[in-house]
């Protein structure tokens, strides 16, 4: 990938966008309202994405995956989110859950679990707890050695796609006195004895992606299920988020684009005072700001994706910046799309109110935008941000 992927997408990347859009038009968008209304998993989307290898496009070819680079993965997630944010959590969560293995896992662990992920089994990420939200190092879940294995006990909260995924990357304290340096990462399987799930949360948006607590009650796992080195789990978790924040930015860009597309179409059709409302300057300025901000968010997201692919030293700044900026834009643009539609925008007969509700989570998960600003400020003060 070139140093400046933001200036032009390659033919291959354009082709990926078109392929995903075709699938979304056929199997994602037509079910989005029903998925939201019934708060059910988007099975049609899940099956279509699996069939086309877009459910976890980041898995390297060596493990049976599509081997998509970071920008291609962003394009996949952006296009799915344009149709239905809930469905876009399938590739996003699969990357989030499996990236610690790609960063720190043994070759055996990679072969086993990345292979099964590529074959269609889902991967969730268990970092958050009732008392460990923004303070993610405050892990109460414990992992204790037991012969050649480990026994895990604890509660994980806000786990996306819990119950649907087969595999879970679980962060747990192995040395309570060492705070973040005493946290390790493990792979837990849904079928391990002692694993259970809470009731799905009743959420404002992304209702098609189940969010549940994960309970670990004396879950015994073999020793080879530790990811990388003992005590390195939190480090792997933070490195993971540097990369996956770019995928949240992609969701935000996608839902903002979907809302803008709908608002543009509506504004040209809706007649008031004997003419199309798109003829009124007040509305034109609103649409102009929406388009401008979506494009700015997109370029920042693609720039961050390039850094994710290369592992650049300023990825931490760019990942946080892309996630924070794009999600703030998504909330503004989806809210304005509702405004463009007026009273119709406020009803479930039109998709923009769902997009507005779905957009909100992008400002919250994988680090609130307040946390992103802390991350960015630290990077700036450390002199890490590049001057291009």
Task: Give catalytic residues, as residue numbers.
Answer: 366
d(CA 329, CA 307): 21
Residue 212: C-alpha distances to residues 17, 116, 169, 198 (Å): 31, 23, 15, 5
d(CA 371, CA 310): 24
* Vertex 299 angle, CA 297 and 305, to 5°: 100
d(CA 36, CA 348): 10
d(CA 244, CA 68): 14
Note the Cα 142 to chain centre separation in Å: 26
Region label for 255, one of left (φ > 0), alpha (ψ between -120 and 50) or beta (otherwise): alpha
In contact, 305 and 70? CB cutoff 8 Å: yes
Query: Which is nearest to 57 in space by CA: 25, 79, 34, 37?
Result: 79
């Amino acid at each position: 990938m070139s140093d400046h992927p933001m200036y032009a997408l390659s033919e291959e990347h354009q082709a990926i966008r078109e392929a995903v859009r075709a699938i979304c038009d056929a199997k994602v968008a037509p079910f989005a309202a029903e998925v939201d209304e019934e708060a059910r998993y988007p099975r049609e989307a899940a099956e279509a994405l699996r069939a086309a290898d877009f459910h976890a496009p980041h898995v390297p070819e060596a493990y049976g995956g599509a081997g998509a680079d970071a920008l291609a993965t962003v394009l996949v997630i952006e296009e799915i989110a344009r149709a239905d944010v809930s469905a876009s959590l399938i590739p996003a969560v699969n990357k989030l859950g499996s990236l610690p293995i790609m960063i720190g896992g043994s070759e055996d662990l990679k072969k086993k679990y990345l292979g099964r992920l590529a074959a269609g089994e889902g991967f969730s990420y268990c970092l958050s707890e009732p008392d460990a939200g923004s303070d993610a190092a405050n892990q109460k879940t414990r992992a204790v050695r037991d012969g050649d294995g480990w026994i895990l006990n604890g509660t994980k909260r806000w786990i996306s796609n819990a119950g649907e995924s087969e595999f879970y990357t679980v962060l747990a304290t192995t040395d309570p006195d060492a705070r973040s340096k005493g946290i390790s990462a493990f792979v837990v399987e849904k079928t391990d004895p002692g694993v259970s799930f809470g009731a799905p949360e009743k959420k404002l948006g992304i209702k098609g992606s189940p969010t549940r607590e994960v309970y670990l009650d004396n879950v015994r796992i073999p020793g080879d299920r530790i990811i990388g080195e003992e005590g390195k789990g939190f480090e792997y978790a933070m490195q993971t988020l540097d990369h996956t924040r770019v995928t949240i930015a992609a969701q935000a860009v996608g839902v903002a684009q979907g809302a803008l597309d709908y608002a543009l179409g509506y504004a040209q059709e809706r007649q008031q005072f004997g003419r199309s409302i798109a003829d009124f300057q007040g509305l034109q300025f609103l649409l102009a700001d929406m388009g401008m901000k979506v494009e700015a968010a997109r370029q920042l997201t693609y720039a961050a994706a390039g850094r994710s692919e290369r592992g650049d030293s300023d990825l931490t700044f760019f990942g946080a910046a892309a996630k924070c900026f794009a999600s703030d834009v998504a909330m503004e643009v989806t809210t304005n799309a509702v405004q463009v539609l007026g009273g119709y925008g406020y009803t479930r007969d039109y998709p923009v109110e769902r997009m507005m509700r779905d957009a909100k989570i992008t400002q919250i998960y994988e680090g609130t935008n307040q946390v992103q600003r802390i991350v960015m400020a630290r990077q700036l003060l450390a002199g890490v941000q590049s001057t291009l």
